[in-house]
Structure 1
Amino acid sequence: MDIGAEQILRGQIIEHLKEIASETGTVTRDQLSNFELDGTTFRLLDRSRGIRNPRQMLATLSIMSTPDSQYSDQEVDGALLAYAYREGGPGGDNTKLRRAFELGVPVILLRKLEPSLYMPICPVYVVADDPENRQFLIALDADLLAIKEPANPTELERKYVRQLTRRRLHQPEFRARVLRAYQSRCAVCRLSHGKLLDAAHIIPDLHEDGSPVVENGLSLCKIHHAAYDAALLGIAPDYRIHISPQLSNAGESPIVEHGFQRLGGEEILVPKRLCDQPDTDRLHTRFEVFKKAC
């Protein structure tokens, strides 16, 4: 396969994978192993390794990042992802990943969240080969290809990279984990259409206590997320829903009556696992904000 044809095929695979993952932000091992595009099956995940190097392709197609892996994959200064060399020195599995760097082709990053469950981030790009530290540097956005020295970005470049990393990695991973905990349903109204669901922070993410962890999250549909952020809807530490007096006019619209007022006093849906349930201290802090706004 020549580079032109490979670029086109990679683009098609990435777009189709993004569509499959658009509901919940995740895909299963089975979906990755039996990925179909125009009647042809592609294996996007290697059976036993954290890197997929298809024989018919010039360069690596996907890499996997696993928190508890033997490899020291990590963020560099909160920015680029350092992807450690695979076993066997600079050759072997690393050869095609180095080729991805040389050709500038897009790669799929599979973030392993649970056994057999992955969050795809694509396209990503290999922007540097660092043999001294036995690692490649992975950029999560094509805009970062313009950085001349990825391993030594300027302060302005570093700030920009951090913003992109937060948007491309941390926020999608938070959403994927929260939706998984709530079985892709809105905690307030039980809406189950993934494309209409957000992961809302109980304590805002820019606050020092606003960690992107499931117990600081709520799965909310977009309208209830907006209402929660605007302090028109509150959730007390006992998991009961409270509606702001500002939404007291039932005749305003059916949405106000059925989507808000009738839900007042009801309990939210909570995850089955105790470790995923909303932290009551965080709920208390946020509920105080709601009460002051009423």
Structure 2
Amino acid sequence: MIMSLGNDLDGRVRAAAMAWLRQRCTPEDPVVPRGELLSFQFEGRPFPLIDNQLGIRKPQGMTAALSILTTYTSDGARAPYEDAVGGDGLLRYKFQGNREHYTNVGLQRAFELRLPLMWFFGIRQGLYLPFFPVWIVAVEVEQSQVAVALDEAQRHLRIDGPVSLIERGYSERITKQRLHQPVFRQRVIQAYETSCAMCHLRHRSLLDAAHIIPDRETHGVPAISNGMALCKIHHAAYDENILGVRPDYVIEVRSDILEERDGPMLRYGLQAMHDLRLTLPRRRMDRPDHNLLEERYERFRAAG
């Protein structure tokens, strides 16, 4: 797909940058610091993958924009995802100032030439989760924005006319699975310093971002304050109401589970969590919301 672009600068840079990202971003370390993106080397010379000041990177000498960037801001400063999802389930990315700005023209050229881009999404100050390749599939001049497809299925979705409920639902699921959920996971795990809030396990591949209120519910927003970093066993136990978290951050294990007799996993992995205090993020704004905890705790009590 990328190789079909030939040996032009646009094609070579994109191929090299995405190959580097595939090697650089592993399951254990999927995020990239800003400094590494700025110091990327292409054919022996510096070639930043992001602009030092702007959200759209359109390098000199290239035909079209190379990347887009969404900066990190705290949950309290704005909605978790400022770039809105349209009625077709596709994400929108806003122009950089005046629509005739060279960066916006670069986005339009990427659309016209069907060139893939990289999207760097901020999950903490100076730390980004990359999504690639992504494609500009529509330029909406009146709204000063472009529509972005996250995969091939969204890329071929018809957006110049009415979209059926089935198509919209399918596209929205892709957006949630491909961008919202990974960003939520990384933001929560970073806030908890790559450690389970209950047992302190620090293996990233064994950690999840557990929702307090499930994301299938309208107020189950993908915000850090609606999440906790939990290892897979404690995430499953929390979802199944085997254990709960009180609004004062104290862990409770369901009474019938406390009375069971089984092997060491039950004793040390679950029963030993009873009456322990949740380990919280350093920043107060990242800590679990009291109202959400209280609502979820009442569900835990009802299940018991």
Q: What TM-score does the superposition give when structure 1 sets the normalisation length?
A: 0.83
Q: Give the CA deviation at 1:192.
A: 1.6
Q: Is 1:13 matched with 2:24?
A: no
Q: For structure 1, which segment, 22-31 or 124-133, has the greater mean C-alpha deviation from structure 2 after superposition?
A: 22-31
Q: For structure 1, which segment, 154-163 or 48-57, has the greater mean C-alpha deviation from structure 2 after superposition?
A: 48-57
Q: Give the CA deviation at 1:59.
A: 3.4
Q: Give the CA deviation at 1:24.
A: 6.5
SS in structure 2 at match of 1:234: strand
SS in structure 2 at match of 1:93: helix
Paired residue type of 2:109: R
- Which of residues 28, 45, 48 is equivalent to 2:50? 45
SS in structure 1 at match of 2:85: strand
Matches within 5 A, 1:44-193: 44-55=49-60, 57-66=62-71, 73-77=83-87, 79-87=89-97, 89-90=99-100, 92-149=102-159, 152-193=162-203
CA distance in 1 between counterparts of 2:99 and 2:303 reads: 60
Structure 1 unaligned regions, length at least 5: none
SS in structure 2 at match of 1:289: helix
Structure 2 unaligned regions, length at least 5: 1-6
Q: Give the CA deviation at 1:206.
A: 1.9
- Number of equivalences: 289
Paired residue type of 1:48: Q
8 Å contact kept, 2:124–2:187: no
8 Å contact kept, 1:185–1:192: yes
Change (3 A) 1:276 1:6: closer
Change (3 A) 1:261 1:96: same
Identity over the aligned pairs, expressed in percent? 38
- Which of residues 223, 246, 255 is equivalent to 2:257? 246
CA distance in 1 between counterparts of 2:209 and 2:219 reads: 16
Q: How big is each residue's C-alpha offset from its partner over 1:99-141, in whole Å with a ceiling of 9 and x where there is no partner?
A: 3223333211122344423332232211112334433211122
Q: For structure 1, which segment, 158-167 or 5-14, has the greater mean C-alpha deviation from structure 2 after superposition?
A: 5-14
Q: Give the CA deviation at 1:239.
A: 1.7
CA distance in 2 between counterparts of 1:40 and 1:264 reads: 56
Paired residue for 2:299? 289
Q: Give the CA deviation at 1:144.
A: 0.9
Q: Is 1:256 matched with 2:263?
A: no
Change (3 A) 1:4 1:189: same
Taking only aligned residues, the RMSD between alpha carbons, in angstroms, comes to 3.1
Q: Give the CA deviation at 1:38.
A: 10
Q: Is 1:200 matched with 2:210?
A: yes
Paired residue type of 1:51: I
